[in-house]
């Protein structure tokens, strides 16, 4: 996760990654983006949430449909956030 810009939390990473369709989503946290998605079969990076850079915390991502948008909801060290599942952008 440090290659993705994350800093390992005090108790280590405790998240269960989310497998959602053909992608895997995780929370490295940090300056390159708090959440990141990868192609499930190859591991090729799809996106990282560059506009949302909170440190990781001790929670796992949940997928949800909110306001007709598929989102990934996560609790980080500082925030609760919903990001668009297709590209990791902040939703409103």
Domain boundaries, given as residue ranges, for the chain: 2-84
Q: Is the pLDDT of residue 92 over 70?
A: no
- Angstrom CA distances, 83 to 10, 52, 78, stand at 25, 9, 15
18 HSE (CA, 13 A, CB side) = 20
Q: Is the pLDDT of residue 28 over 80?
A: yes
Of all residues in the chain, the percent with pLDDT exceeding 90 is 71
d(CA 72, CA 15): 14
Its sign, for the CA torsion 4, 8, 83, 72, is positive
Q: Is the pLDDT of residue 2 over 70?
A: no
State the average pLDDT over residues 22-43. 95
- How would you class 13 by CB atoms within 10 Å of its CB: exposed for 0-12, middle for 13-18, buried for 19 or more? middle
d(CA 9, CA 89): 24
- Please give the model's pTM, rounded to 2 decimal places: 0.87
Which of 12-16, 27-31, 38-42, 78-82 comes out lowest in average pLDDT? 12-16
pLDDT tens digit sequence for 62-76 = 999 998 999 999 999
């Amino acid at each position: 996760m440090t290659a993705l810009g994350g800093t390992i939390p005090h108790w280590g990473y405790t998240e269960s990654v989310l497998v959602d369709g053909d992608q895997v989503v995780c929370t490295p946290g940090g300056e390159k983006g708090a959440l990141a998605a990868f192609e499930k079969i190859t591991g090729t990076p799809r996106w990282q949430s560059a506009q949302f850079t909170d440190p990781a915390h001790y929670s796992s991502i949940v997928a949800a449909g909110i306001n007709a948008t598929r989102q990934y909801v996560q609790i980080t060290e500082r925030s609760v956030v919903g990001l668009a599942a297709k590209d990791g952008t902040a939703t409103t």
